[in-house]
Structures are given as structure tokens and as C-alpha cells.
């Protein structure tokens, strides 16, 4: 599997990085605020370009200038690591303000820290006045950091297409190419995700053949954080091959900011999550579901990936406690209750063979398409006699996409549609059609 290239957006706080990021990915994912330093952690999103796909990363502001000086050093460290591992860098400069000492400091950092072959695109942001940007362009070229200077205004969509094209051309110059479209015969890509020391590498080792384990076992240790990078392992089961990506444990940000290796590991785990088809979340059945477990599951759901939950180390629990642990997991992860839960043991291999059948089922469900005529028939039955408000009067809905299944409902006033109504609709849809293991997205549009 070819590497998914990374494009990192860097710059000092409040230069419009997050607004630009949200515009480039087509939806709001980064927090946007006039307060410098709103973005603290990396936010990443896979972007499917015209000629090449890439992982777009919005970093926290570098160079200081925020209202929370205590975190500035941590944010700078994280941004620096993103910069060092980027294949293309987009440097943002606020065109409405004069260049500051922080801008020059970041440019100096770029010269020292980025890899020599990595192209830099200078994006002058907040360019609402063409005359002013014309006067500023010579100054930006004079910085000597990039020959590719673009005027942009994310809120007004100025220069966005030019920036997208520049990023793709830069990646093409580095010989990155779009992967061929996936077909059912290709190997499913499975990311093994979870906190450190829950048994991720042990799970992959347990599914290997004896020959594979003898040649290339994954490193396993009681010390959390043994796996530092994303590792791909091809496993054959019933004449079908599966690519398992064993990732580094995903820690809370406070646990990673002082360790460059941990930041790199987290960054690579996010890349693996972006390029996989299905995420297998490993939980230690002996421990209660934590906030970090929920956060990792939410990342998979937000990215539209298939999700399966493995409760590892079931062999260490007495039988009466196994059902209690299963019930606890279902309660704590209600927001992804569509995900099948498999109790298993990497040590005894109990339950592991079930995973392959579930993967096949989830893969089919992710690409399931329901004909519009069948959808209309189902919808009429689903809303009949139910408190669905304006949804009940909708005359048309259709499935817009697969991966994940996405449905568009046309209503008079989308703002009047309640989340609880969409949730009830989704529950009914899941009872009628097989969508186990995949998130479902709903879009409400104004009917013509």
C-alpha cells in the first residue's frame, strides 16, 4: 500500500489556518475563533484530490502570541513535529497585518527544520482587497521561503481552487499518485487502534500463521508504548487477504507533548486511521471504558470508517464478570452502538476467528446502496404515526454516497429537523437494512 502523503498548514496564531483548513476539506472540523491559539492539537482529514489524495493537517499556532502562554511551548513542539514529517507545507501569513517577529521566526524554523526537498506554499490569508495584496506580494516573495505565493480568503472562497491545485502539483512533483479505485477483490485495510498496552500487537500476532510469527512477529512488551510506528501485516484467512495496520497506542495529548517519539507515533496512527477501511478498537476488558477510549472510537466514527470493538484479555475474567464487562462497554459506547463487540483473548485466541467474518460483513454494509424506490417505501412506513415533525412531510430522500452510507432528506425547513428525529429514523433504518459496523450520515436540504 502506498504512503498517504501529508500536507501541513503552519503559521503563527490567528492567521486563518483553521478557517482555511475547514474550507479545503469542505466542512467545519477545526475550531475557529478570533482568539489566537484556539487550535491546540493537530486536526487531520484525508482529502481526495483530483490527481492525488493526501492527509491535510491543521497545526496549532507557532511563534507565541496566544492568550494561554502556558501551553504555547507544547503547541509549538507538536507543530514542529508535524512540520518535520510533512511532504508539503502551507505557510499562512495574515495579509491584513504587517509581518511580525513571529512570522520571521517561523520562516527561520522552516529553513532549519523541514526536509530539503519539501516544497513550501505561502498562502496570504484574509485577502479581501486585491489592491492591498498586490502591494504586499513583492514583500512575500522577498522572504525567500517560497516562489509559490497565493492570495486567499477562505470565507469568500478566494484562491481556494488555486491553492488546492498548487498542493496537488507539489505532491505530483514528489511522485505521489492517486491510488487506483478500490474493488471488492482488493485487500481490506484494517487499522488496529486503541490505548497503549491493551494488546494490539498481541492480537495481530495471534492471527498470524505459525510461519509468519516465526519470520516477523510484532514486538510485544508489558511496557506501554512498545509499538512506535504503524506496521502493516498481511494475513490470509479462507483464501482472502487482509491488511492489518498495527498502530502505536493513542495517548492523551498531555502524555505526549514532552516526547517527540510519542508525538510522531500519534501522528502515524492518525495516518493509518485515515487510510484504513475498518477500525478495530481494542479495549482491555479488565479496565473500565475511559474518556480516551471514547475519543478514539469517536475519531473512527467521525471519519466514516467501519468500526469493530474487541474486548481483549477475556481469559483473565471469571465467567460471571464477562457479561458485566460487556454490558458496561455497551453502556459507555452508546454513541457507536452500531459497532459489533467481540470478546476475545490474544493469549488463547478465543473469539479471534469471529473477527474475519465480522470484517467481511462490515465491509459489505459500508458499501450498501438502497434503491430510491425502496427508500421511499421504507420512509413512509417509518414516519407513519410517529412524532417526526417536518420530517414526516418530506416527499423525497435518496442515498447520496456509500463509504459511509449517506442519506439526503429534502424538507421545507432543515433547521426545524431535530437530532432526536434523525436518530429515531436511523434506528428504524438499521432495523430494516443491514448496516451493522458502519456509521450513517444524514443531510437535510431545502426541498424545491
Contact indicator for 325, 285 with CB cutoff of 8 Å: yes
Q: Which band of pLDDT confidence, cut at 50, 70 and 90, is reported for residue 114?
A: confident
Range of weakest confidence among 29-33, 168-172, 264-268, 305-309: 29-33
0.85 surpassed by pTM:
no
- 293 vs 283: CA distance, rounded Å: 8
Could you confirm whether domain 372-446 is CATH 3.30.300.20? yes
Q: Which band of pLDDT confidence, cut at 50, 70 and 90, is reported for residue 38?
A: very low
Q: Is the pLDDT of residue 177 over 50?
A: yes
> Mind listing the pLDDT tens digit for each residue in 217-269?
444 444 344 333 456 788 888 888 898 988 876 655 454 444 454 555 566 67
Position 1 scores a pLDDT of: 43
Contact indicator for 160, 127 with CB cutoff of 8 Å: no
Q: Is the pLDDT of residue 366 over 80?
A: yes
CA distance from start to end of the chain = 44
Q: Is the pLDDT of residue 210 over 90?
A: no
Q: Which band of pLDDT confidence, cut at 50, 70 and 90, is reported for residue 416?
A: very high
Mean pLDDT for the chain overall: 82
Q: Please indicate whether the domains covering 6-174 and 189-367 agree at the CATH topology level.
A: yes
Q: 219 in the Ramachandran plot: left (φ > 0), alpha (ψ -120 to 50) or beta?
A: beta
Position 86 scores a pLDDT of: 86
Position 372 scores a pLDDT of: 93
Q: Which band of pLDDT confidence, cut at 50, 70 and 90, is reported for residue 40?
A: very low
Q: Which band of pLDDT confidence, cut at 50, 70 and 90, is reported for residue 83?
A: confident
The CATH architecture to which 189-367 belongs is 3-Layer(aba) Sandwich (3.40)
Q: Is the pLDDT of residue 323 over 50?
A: yes
Sequence ranges of the domains in the chain: 6-174, 189-367, 372-446
Of all residues in the chain, what percent carry a pLDDT higher than 90? Answer: 51
Q: How far is CA 71 from the centre of its chain?
A: 24
Pick the CATH number of 6-174 from 3.40.50.300, 3.90.1640.20, 3.30.230.10, 3.90.230.10: 3.40.50.300
Q: Which band of pLDDT confidence, cut at 50, 70 and 90, is reported for residue 73?
A: very low
Position 257 scores a pLDDT of: 44
Of all residues in the chain, what percent carry a pLDDT higher than 70? Answer: 79
- 157 vs 205: CA distance, rounded Å: 49
Q: Is the pLDDT of residue 81 over 80?
A: no
Range of weakest confidence among 60-64, 195-199, 298-302, 346-350: 60-64
Element (H, E) at 446: strand 441-446
Position 181 scores a pLDDT of: 52
Mean pLDDT of 174-183: 71
- 250 vs 278: CA distance, rounded Å: 17
Which residue bears the cell 478514539?
296
Position 409 scores a pLDDT of: 95
Q: Which band of pLDDT confidence, cut at 50, 70 and 90, is reported for residue 164?
A: very high
Position 27 scores a pLDDT of: 60
Position 352 scores a pLDDT of: 93
Which residue bears the cell 475550531?
31
Report DSSP letters for 303-332, one per residue: TT-EEEEEEE-GGGS-HHHHHHHHHHHHHH
Mean pLDDT of 429-447: 94
Q: Is the pLDDT of residue 34 over 80?
A: no
Position 217 scores a pLDDT of: 47
Residue 288 vs residues 24, 279, 314: alpha-carbon distances, Å:
38, 20, 13
> Mind listing the pLDDT tens digit for each residue in 373-412?
999 999 999 999 899 988 999 989 999 988 899 999 999 9
Burial track 33-69 (b if 16+ CB lie within 10 A, e otherwise)? eeebbbbbbbbbbbbebeebbbbbbbbbbbbbbbeee
Position 377 scores a pLDDT of: 94
Pull the grid cell for residue 209. Answer: 500463521
Amino acid at each position: 500500500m502506498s504512503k498517504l502523503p501529508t500536507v501541513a498548514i503552519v503559521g503563527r496564531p490567528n492567521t486563518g489556518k483553521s478557517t482555511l483548513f475547514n474550507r479545503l476539506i469542505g466542512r467545519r472540523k477545526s475550531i475557529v475563533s478570533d482568539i489566537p491559539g484556539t487550535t491546540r492539537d493537530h486536526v487531520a482529514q484525508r482529502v481526495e484530490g483530483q490527481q492525488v489524495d493526501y492527509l491535510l493537517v491543521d497545526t496549532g499556532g507557532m511563534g507565541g502570541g496566544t492568550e494561554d502562554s502556558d501551553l504555547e511551548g507544547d503547541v509549538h513542539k507538536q507543530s514542529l513535529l508535524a512540520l518535520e514529517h510533512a511532504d508539503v507545507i502551507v505557510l499562512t501569513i495574515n495579509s491584513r497585518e504587517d509581518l511580525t517577529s513571529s512570522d520571521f521566526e517561523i520562516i527561520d524554523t522552516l529553513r532549519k527544520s523541514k526536509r530539503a526537498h519539501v516544497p513550501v506554499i505561502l498562502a496570504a490569508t484574509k485577502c479581501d482587497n486585491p489592491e492591498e495584496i498586490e502591494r504586499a506580494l513583492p514583500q512575500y516573495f522577498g522572504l525567500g521561503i517560497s516562489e509559490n505565493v497565493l492570495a486567499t480568503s477562505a470565507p469568500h472562497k478566494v484562491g481556494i481552487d488555486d491553492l488546492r491545485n498548487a498542493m496537488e502539483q507539489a505532491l505530483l512533483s514528489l511522485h505521489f499518485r492517486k491510488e487506483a479505485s478500490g474493488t471488492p477483490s482488493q485487500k481490506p485495510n484494517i487499522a488496529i487502534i486503541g490505548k497503549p498496552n491493551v494488546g494490539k500487537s498481541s492480537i495481530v500476532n495471534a492471527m498470524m500463521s505459525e510461519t509468519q510469527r516465526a519470520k516477523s512477529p510484532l514486538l510485544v512488551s508489558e511496557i506501554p508504548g512498545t509499538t512506535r510506528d504503524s506496521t502493516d501485516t498481511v494475513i490470509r484467512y479462507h483464501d482472502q487477504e487482509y491488511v492489518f495496520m498495527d498502530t502505536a497506542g493513542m495517548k492523551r495529548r498531555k502524555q505526549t507533548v514532552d516526547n517527540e517519539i510519542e508525538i510522531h507515533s500519534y501522528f502515524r496512527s492518525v495516518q493509518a486511521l485515515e487510510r484504513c477501511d475498518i477500525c478495530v478498537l481494542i479495549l482491555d476488558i479488565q479496565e473500565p471504558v475511559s474518556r480516551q477510549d471514547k475519543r478514539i472510537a469517536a475519531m473512527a466514527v467521525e471519519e466514516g470508517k467501519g468500526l469493530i470493538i474487541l474486548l481483549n484479555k477475556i481469559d483473565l475474567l471469571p465467567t460471571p464478570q464477562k457479561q458485566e464487562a460487556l454490558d458496561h462497554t455497551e453502556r459507555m459506547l452508546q454513541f457507536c452502538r452500531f459497532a459489533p463487540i467481540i470478546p476475545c483473548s490474544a493469549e488463547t485466541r478465543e473469539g479471534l476467528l469471529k473477527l474475519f467474518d465480522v470484517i467481511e460483513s462490515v465491509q459489505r454494509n459500508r458499501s450498501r446502496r438502497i434503491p430510491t424506490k425502496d427508500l421511499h417505501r421504507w420512509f413512509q412506513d417509518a414516519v407513519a404515526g410517529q412524532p417526526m415533525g417536518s420530517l414526516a412531510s418530506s416527499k423525497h430522500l435518496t442515498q447520496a454516497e456509500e463509504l459511509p452510507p449517506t442519506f439526503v432528506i429534502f424538507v421545507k425547513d432543515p433547521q426545524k429537523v431535530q437530532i432526536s428525529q434523525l436518530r429515531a429514523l436511523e434506528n428504524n433504518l438499521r432495523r430494516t437494512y443491514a448496516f451493522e459496523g458502519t456509521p450513517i450520515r444524514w443531510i437535510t436540504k431545502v426541498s424545491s
